A and B are shown apart, each in its own frame.
Chain A
Amino acid sequence: MIERFSKRRDEDGFTLIELLVVIVILGVLSAVVVFAVRGAGDKGQSSALKIDARTVRTAEEAFCAQNGRFGTMEELHSSPNAKFLSEKSTMTDVALAPGGPCKGSGVDDSKSGFILGYKEPNAGSPPASTGYPELKLAVTGTGSGVYPTPFEWGFGGPAQQQMNLMFDPLLWKDATGMEIPWLTTSVPTIANGGVSADGKSYTFTLRSNVKWQDSGVVTAHNPSGGDQFLTADDVKFTVDYQNTGGAANTVTPCWCKTALTNISSVVVNSPTSITFNLTKAVNTFFQDIGWGMVILPKHIWQNITTSTSPSITSMHTSVEGYMGTGAYKLLNPLSYVPSGGSCGGCSQYDANTSFFLGTPYVRRLTYKLPGSGITGLQTKTIDAGSVGSNDGITTSDLNALSGLSRVTAPGGGNTVVHFNLTKGFPYNEVRFRQAAAYAIDRNYLLQAIAGGRGKVSSMGSLAPSHPMLAPGLPTYDLGTRAANVAKAKDLLDQLGIVDTNADGKRECPVANPCALVSNTGAVTTSVTPTNFNPNLYGAGSPSTATATAIQQNLADVGLDFALATGTNFQAQNGYYGMQLVGWGNTMQDPDILRVRLDSSYTAVVPSFWNIYGWNNTANATSFMAKAQDELTTTDPIFRKKRVQEMQELVAADVPQISLFTADVWFFYQAGSFSSWYNTPNGTPPGPPGFFNKHVFVTGKQFGLPAGY
Chain B
Amino acid sequence: MRPGGHAPGRTAGTQRDQGPRRRAKRSFRMADGRRRGAAWRVGIYLVTLWAVVTVVFFLPRVMPGDPLTAIREANSPLNSEDRAILEAHYNLDQPLLTQYGLYLSGLARRDMGLTIGGGAPVGQLIWNRLPWTLLLMGTSLAVSSAIGFAAGVSAAWRRGGRVDRRLLTVMTVLHAVPEYVLATALLLLFVVRVPLFPSAGAATPFTQSYGQLYKLADVGYHLVLPATALTLGLLGTKFRLVRNTTISVLGQNYMVAARAKGVPERLLKRRHAGRNVLLPFLTVVGLQVAFAAGGSMFVETVFQYPGMASLMLPAIENLDFPLMEACFVMLAILVLTANLIVDLTYARLDPRVRTE
Q: Which of B64, B73, B75, B132 contacts A257 (CB 8 A)?
A: B75
Stretch of A91-99, A485-493, A601-609 on the interface side: A601-609
Q: Check if A472 is an interface residue, CB within 8 A of chain B.
A: no
- Among residues of B, the one whose C-beta sits closest to the C-beta of A372 is B199
- Is A154 positioned at the interface, with any CB of B under 8 Å from its CB? yes
B82 touches A379 (CB 8 A): no
Chain A interface, number of residues (Cβ within 8 angstroms): 79
Min distance, Cβ A675 to any Cβ of chain B, angstroms: 23
User: Per a CB cutoff under 8 Å, which of B71, B72, B169 touches A22?
Assistant: B169
B173 contacts A309, C-beta separation under 8 Å: no
For A605, the chain B residues whose CB sits under 8 A away are: 75, 77
Interface residue B250 (Cβ < 8 Å from any Cβ of A): yes
Return chain A residues, CB-CB under 8 Å to B132.
342
- The answer, among A33, A249, A375, for a CB contact under 8 Å with B188, is A33
Indicate if the CB atoms of B169 and A18 lie closer than 8 Å. yes
Taking CB atoms, residues of chain A closer than 8 Å to B71 are: 251
Q: Is B195 an interface residue (CB 8 A)?
A: yes
- Distance in angstroms between the alpha carbons of A567 and B89 in the assembled complex: 24
Give residues of chain A (340-373) contacting chain B, Cβ–Cβ below 8 Å.
Answer: 340-344, 346, 348, 366, 368-372
Contact assessment for A339 and B310 in the assembled complex, using a CB-CB cutoff below 8 Å:
yes
Given contacts A5-B250, A145-B320, contact A343 B74 (CB under 8 A): no
* CB-contacts of A588-629 with B (<8 A): 595, 604-609
- Chain B residues 209 to 243 lying within 8 A of chain A, measured CB to CB, are 219
Q: How large is the interface on B (under 10, 10 to 19, 20 to 34, 35 or more residues)?
A: 35 or more
Interface residues of A in 564-590 (CB under 8 A from B): 567-569, 572-573
A368 to B204, CA, bound (A): 9
Interface-located stretch among B7-15, B33-41, B118-126, B326-334: B118-126
Q: Which residue of A lies closest to B215 (CB)?
A: A342
B168 contacts partner chain A, Cβ-Cβ < 8 Å:
yes
Beta-carbon contacts of B50-71 to A below 8 Å, as 1s and 0s? 0000000000000011100111
Q: Does B151 contact A (CB under 8 A)?
A: no
Task: List, in ascending order, chain A residues with CB within 8 A of B159's CB.
Answer: 8, 12
How far, in angstroms, from A337 to B124 measured CA to CA in the complex?
Answer: 9
Instruction: Assess whether B76 is in contact with A342, with CB atoms less than 8 Å apart.
Output: no
* Secondary structure dominating the interface of A: loop
Contact with B along A300-314 (1 / 0, CB 8 A): 000000011110011
Residue A511 CB within 8 A of the other chain: no
Q: Which residues of B contact A37 (CB under 8 A)?
A: 193
Any B CB within 8 A of the CB of A505? no
Contact of B76 among A2, A253, A341, A568 (CB under 8 A): A253
Name the residue on A nearest B313 (C-beta).
A144
Is A150 an interface residue, CB under 8 A from the partner? no
Q: CB-CB contacts of A134-151 with B at 8 A, as 1s and 0s?
A: 000000001011110000
A688 within 8 A of B: no
Whether, in the assembled complex, A152 has its beta carbon less than 8 Å from a beta carbon of chain B, the answer is: yes
**Assuming the A-B contacts A5-B250, A37-B193, A144-B318, are A366 and B82 also in contact, with contact meaning beta carbons closer than 8 angstroms in the complex?**
no
Indicate if the CB atoms of B118 and A569 lie closer than 8 Å: no
Residue B259 at the chain A interface, CB threshold 8 Å: yes
One digit per residue, 1 when the CB lies within 8 angstroms of any chain A CB and 0 when it does not, for chain B 109-124 equals 0000011011111001
Q: Are A338 and B77 in contact (CB under 8 A)?
A: no
Counting CB contacts under 8 A, is B139 at the interface? no
One digit per residue, 1 when the CB lies within 8 angstroms of any chain B CB and 0 when it does not, for chain A 28-48 equals 010011001100100000000
Q: Which residues of B contact A689 (CB under 8 A)?
A: none
Does residue B5 face the partner (Cβ distance < 8 Å to A)? no
Contact indicator A12/B160 (Cβ below 8 Å)? yes
What chain B residues lie within 8 Å of A155 (beta carbons)? 73-75
Is B69 touching A147 in the complex (CB atoms < 8 A)?
no
Bound form: Cα–Cα A33–B314 in Å? 33
Closest to A155 in B: B73
Which residues of the other chain, B, contact A257 by a CB distance below 8 angstroms? 75
Closest to A368 in B: B205
Contact call A379/B195, Cβ cutoff below 8 A? yes
- When the two chains form their complex, are residues A340 and B206 in contact, meaning their CB atoms are under 8 A apart? no
Contact assessment for B193 and A36 in the assembled complex, using a CB-CB cutoff below 8 Å: yes
Question: Which of chain B's residues have a CB closer than 8 A to the CB of A609?
Answer: 74
CB distance from B240 to the nearest CB of A (A): 12
A369 & B304 in contact (Cβ 8 Å cutoff): yes
Of the candidates B119, B203, B205, B314, the one whose C-beta lies within 8 Å of that of A309 is B119
A167 nearest CB across to chain B (Å): 18
Is A181 interfacial (CB-CB < 8 Å)? no
The answer to whether A366 touches B206, judged by C-beta atoms less than 8 angstroms apart, is yes
User: Complex formed: what's the CA distance from A142 to B78 in Å?
Assistant: 23
Contact with A along B94-130 (1 / 0, CB 8 A): 0000000000000000000011011111001100110
Known A144-B314, A154-B73; contact A371-B200, beta-carbon cutoff 8 A = yes
Closest chain-B Cβ to A606's Cβ sits at a distance in Å of 6
Choice from A154, A338, A348 contacting B120 with Cβ under 8 Å: A338
Residue of A nearest to B176 (CB): A22
- A655 at the binding interface (Cβ < 8 Å): no
B319 within 8 A of A: yes
**B306 touching A342, Cβ below 8 Å:** yes
| Interchain CB contact under 8 A, A249 and B64 | no
Cross-chain contact A12 with B164 (CB below 8 angstroms): yes
Residues of B within 8 A of A33 (CB): 188-189, 193
User: Could you give 14 example pairs across A and B, Cβ below 8 Å?
Assistant: A25-B173, A33-B193, A145-B117, A147-B120, A152-B118, A249-B82, A251-B71, A253-B73, A316-B118, A337-B120, A340-B125, A340-B129, A342-B132, A343-B204
Interface residues of A (CB under 8 A from B): 1-2, 5, 8-9, 11-15, 18-19, 21-22, 25, 29, 32-33, 36-37, 40, 142, 144-147, 152, 154-156, 248-253, 255, 257, 307-310, 313-314, 316-317, 337-344, 346, 348, 366, 368-372, 375, 379, 519-520, 567-569, 572-573, 595, 604-609, 685
6 A-B pairs besides A250-B78, A371-B198 with CB distance below 8 A are A13-B165, A152-B118, A313-B119, A337-B125, A340-B306, A344-B200
